[in-house]
Amino acid sequence: MYYIVETEQQLKRLYCSGNECYIRIIPMNDEYHSILSSPCLVYFKTLNGKGYMFPINHSEAFKLSFEEVMQWIDSKFEKIYTLNKKEVLYYFNSDKLIDITDGNHSLVHRSKFADRMYNKFPNLEFVNSLIPLSKHYEAEEKNFEEIRQFLNEDPKDFYNDIFPKVFKAIEEQGIRIHPDYFHKHFSYNEKSWFLNGETVYTKYNLYNLTTRPTNSFNGVNFAALNKNDGSRVAFIPKNDLFFEFDYDSYHVRILAKLINYPLDNESVHTQLGKMYFDKDTLTDEEYKRSKELTFKQLYGGVFDQYKDIPFFKSMTEYVDKLWEKFNTENKLKLIGGKVLTKEQIQNPTPNKVLNYIIQSAETYNNVVSVKKVIEYLEKRQSKVILYTYDSFLIDYSISDGKQTLQKIKQLLESEGYVIKASYGPNYDSLKNI
């Protein structure tokens, strides 16, 4: 078939003009975590030429060397567009990769035949190799036409480069589980999709409007594990201990930085509570009330009785300017560089726009800081294994020494935010330090 390149000779003879192309690496099973699968096919297309299928491990064709295919592509093109770069990085790491995925075009079409095969054999590790090449080709041609309009968008360095690499680095570590506890507490679709022995793999979705990643995979929401039902006991270290580092009153401190309001290392709720109640020392009830008041105003707008408190006065001025700019320009530039049109934000309000900014600042700061930690731990046993918005779980090896923990804290605080730490033998038994 004219769209299949299945021998080394055919590959060498293939002529393609231009310096840009699009690829999609099709794994043996779409549902498996990428670290537990391998390439089945590579769909390849120049922007103005025809599309081709390069069979790597498919029942209908000879097998090409995946390494040779990717080397050929990498040698001939300056820009290599792809969907979901984080997943592609498991198989192919090139500085030429450009991620074109966002919330508008992240879905991958399947043929009706493929849907039937997945309904019948969801757990079959090589199911894509049994789906006819023609069906794969039709689906990929349809995918390409849907995303063609986005191929010439300028890649944002942060979102194209640092963003997918950081989360791939976290994912690929996996998290050790206690099998008895894990199977007792969690329901999931297929064991083989994310489990390898005593290691479970998470999968971050990076393509959300606010840039805030989610982490729900195979029926388990790893970003919202219940703290109260004992289920966290299922997660145990591969090394010696878990250490969790989390930011203190993170969103409030992010806002304070945005509005240039000075906060010290004392609890934010104590600092603001002193202003609410006009006193130097708070009772436990007043501290609790302060916390409630702060979050209500952060997400719902400033109360009239507190509008003259310096922090909220500065917040109001910032939100008013942000809202005016949003309505004048009909767009919102998030921290990190991503731009949202007014139409992308449903029922916008001043505080909703503010929360988009705060969440993007959270993501940007986290990724910049965690990247430093990952690089620092590269030659050490300890690893970052879980990211949950304002906290980071470290699988810590005692052999790395106490100075490693001190360095991690220092790196996470490098952007100016306050870190708290806890530790324990499993994820359910963490004690504050």
10-residue stretch averages of pLDDT, the chain, 433 residues long? 89 91 96 97 93 97 96 96 95 94 62 93 95 95 87 80 96 98 96 97 94 96 96 98 96 96 93 95 96 94 94 96 97 93 94 96 96 97 96 98 97 93 98 94
User: For residue 196, what are its two tokens?
Assistant: 């390898």
Task: Give, as one character, the DSSP assignment of residue 162.
Answer: I
Number of C-beta neighbours around residue 402 at 10 A:
8
Q: Is-contact 353 342, C-beta < 8 A?
A: no
* Tokens 């508008």 sit on residue: 104
Q: Is-contact 24 151, C-beta < 8 A?
A: no
Q: Is-contact 169 36, C-beta < 8 A?
A: no
Q: Is-contact 238 206, C-beta < 8 A?
A: no
Q: What residue spans define the domains of the chain? A: 8-155, 157-433
pLDDT of 102: 57
CA end-to-end distance (rounded Å), the chain: 65
Distance CA 364, CA 357 (A): 10
Element spanning 99, H or E: strand 97-99
pLDDT of 270: 96
3-state secondary structure of 408: helix
pLDDT of 215: 97
pLDDT of 149: 81
**pTM of this structure:** 0.94
pLDDT of 1: 60
- The C-alpha angle 362, 368, 371, rounded to 5 degrees, equals 130
Question: Could you say which of 3.40.190.90, 3.90.1300.10, 3.40.390.10, 3.30.70.370 is the CATH number of the domain covering 157-433?
Answer: 3.30.70.370
3-state secondary structure of 115: helix
Helix, strand and coil content of the chain, in percent to the nearest 5, comes to 45, 15, 40
pLDDT of 150: 80
Task: Give, as one character, the DSSP assignment of residue 22.
Answer: E
